[in-house]
Structure 1
Amino acid sequence: MPTIVIDGREADLGHGLKVRRVLPFARRRMVGPFIFFDHAGPVTMSCQEGRRADVRPHPHIGLCTLSYLLGGAITHRDSLGVKQVIRPGEVNWMTAGRGIAHSERFDTPDAFAGGGLELLQSWIALPEAEEECEPAFENHPAADLPEADEPGVRMRLIAGDAFGMRSPVGVRSPMFYLHLEAEAGARIPLPEGHAERAAYVARGEFELDAQRHRTGRMLVFDAGERPAMIAREPSTVMLLGGEPLGERHIWWNFVSSRRERIEQAKADWKAGRFVLPPDDREEFIPLPE
């Protein structure tokens, strides 16, 4: 049995861009180092509508952002001067550390192509000793990510270590994040050797202990559990977890082990002390009241 079942809550980011927000949850703030988990889309828009939904420059501290697309395309720009278009199967891994600002814009012709934009975005808390590290950015194409097959299941390791595979993404604490495509009737495996683990249904449905779990639901498991999850239709399931890092405070886009550090970040953003992306500095998201 899962430790807890979390149903994603709908949040509106504005201009038609809605997400299912899974983490943080009132009764489960984190799974391993994962402190935030959003599932946006799939959504289709015209180019004009998409530009209104752009996520303008905004700040982060104390975390790494992990962006992974199932459809569409997004242009990332940050205060390091990086400009990177991310497409399905690729990983954008941004280390905020002591502070970074970035934007995510839908300014490519294929931003809402095919079945529409579908984004899985996670925040991974940094270990306390590395919360003030230098900011950095990595992009990893799908071809660089290790893959494996089990009966009826194809797996891609997005980040960390699992099932004897290691991702090239530069994680800073023990963790794993996997993208699984499961055929109907296939058993969905869950890696062992991690203290905290979860399964999120991005598409489709699986069954566990005679209960069905559909799109938008996350199940969190204790270490040592071997859940018998069976796909009841073709399904996309994200597996994630790792070692817990201890209590973290989260406010807006800031994560820290220290409340006073978040207060400092709030003051720095309000006073304009964060550097904006050099080719995207004409507007920004103001500090929430």
Structure 2
Amino acid sequence: MSIETEVIESECDIEKGCDAIQLIIKPRAKDLGEFSVRRTLPTKERKTVGPWIFFDHMGPSTFSAGTGINVRPHPHINLATVTYLFEGEILHRDSLGSYAVITPGDINLMVAGRGIVHSERERDEVKNSEHNLHGLQLWLALPEEYEEIDPAFYHYPSVTIPSTTVDGVSLRVLMGSAYGLTSPVLTYAETLYVEAHMQMGQKLELVNSEERAIYVAKGELKIRDTVIPEFAMVILSSEDGVVIEAIAESRIALIGGEKMSKRFMEWNFISSRKDRVEQAKKEWLAGDFPPVVDDDQEFIPLPK
């Protein structure tokens, strides 16, 4: 997705919990007409969790016929985007010529590297009837030695993503290794991304990581005596043996990985070097980025 303003950080309500919990972030939904987005990363209080530097929850939304996701071409540098849907589909095109339809359970990994432009729309057969959309889009900060690699795009169908059951909890390892499984999705640093679907009363012990967080996309959790409401993100400590309990049917995302160095963030540009962000802004204004193949008639201008 593209950010509509130059400032990326969202305003959230912040709380503190038990010793296992550093912060509880409660994002405020941004209404985009028939579509809402909740952004939990970055905030003023917390910029990253491991290599994860951006976390958006899209929907759940129902679009009437003739409407839907329509994100015009826009650029990225020095990061990788990760798109995962619970419901609906998104059509991805980019300046490499990639054309991919992401459907529930798939992983789209777009590595911006030294620079890429992409659009996110919907196929006519989807847009022309009432349809739903619900999912997550995250951005990964690339380690400094990989920031300027050649851009690339990878699509991983749902059937390639490993799944298992732990203490009755259904889960999928989307990226990294956890619960005895390793995802095929390419990583550039130690990365953790797990989706779990929990029934009321089920418990799950969380795998550890240098940094980690839980996001409640649906339902309600409890960690010891602290209740984690729907649409909240819990920034966890590195304490071992942390157990979450579902107090309603819940769908959660566990993210984490190794801590990254400081990043500068403006609009869709993220880099370890502030001058690189400024360079990218000038290049976009000058039209120096490559166009999206078969989608080059419009673009999102740099926010003022």
Question: In the alignment, is the contact (CA less than 8 A) between 2:67 and 2:127 conserved in 1?
Answer: no
Partner of residue 32, structure 1? 50
Report the aligned-residue RMSD. 1.6
Which shifted more, 95-104 or 109-118? 109-118
Identity between Structure 1 and Structure 2 (%): 43
Shift of 1:11: 2.4
Match of 2:216 among 201, 215, 233: 201
Q: Which residue of 1 aligns with 2:293?
A: 278
Deviation at 1:209, TM superposition (A): 2.3
Quote the Cα distance in structure 1 between the aligned partners of 2:131 and 2:77. Answer: 33
8 Å Cα contact 2:66-2:127 kept in structure 1:
no
Match of 2:22 in 1: 3
Q: Who is 2:196 aligned against?
A: 180
SS in 2 for 1:44: strand
Query: What are the superposed Cα offsets for residues 13-58 of structure 1, whole Å, 9 maximum, x if unpaired?
Result: x4432200100011110000000000010111123122xx400000
Instruction: Give the CA deviation at 1:113.
Output: 8.1
Distance 1:237 1:156, change over 3 A: same
> Matches of 1:228 and 1:113 in 2, distance apart?
42
**Partner SS state of residue 194, structure 2:** strand
SS at match of 1:279: coil
Spell out, residue by residue over 1:179-201, the C-alpha distance to the aligned partner (whole angstroms, 9 max, x if none): 10111111123112x20011100
Structure 2: runs of 5 or more not aligned: 1-19
The question of whether the paired residues in 1 share the 8 Å contact of 2:25 and 2:233 is answered with yes
Alignment pair present for 1:22 and 2:40: yes
- Aligned partner of 1:236 in structure 2 is 251
Deviation at 1:151, TM superposition (A): 2.0
Change in Cα spacing, 1:247 to 1:113, as seen in structure 2 (3 Å) is: farther
Q: Which amino acid aligns with 1:48?
A: G
Is 1:143 matched with 2:159?
yes
Distance 1:164 1:286 in 2: 45
CA contact (8 A) 2:79 2:112 kept: yes
Q: Paired residues, what number?
A: 285
Q: How does 1:55-134 map to 2 (within 5 A)?
A: 55-110=71-126, 116-134=132-150
Report the Cα offset of residue 111 of structure 1: 5.9
* Aligned-partner Cα distance in 2 for 1:74–1:108: 11
For structure 1, list consecutive stretches of 5 or more residues without a partner in the other structure.
none
The whole-number CA distance in structure 2 between the counterparts of 1:64 and 1:48 is 30
How far off is 1:275 after superposition? Answer: 0.7
1:214 to partner: Cα distance:
1.9
Q: Aligned-pair distance for 1:119? A: 1.8
Q: TM-score, normalised by structure 2?
A: 0.90
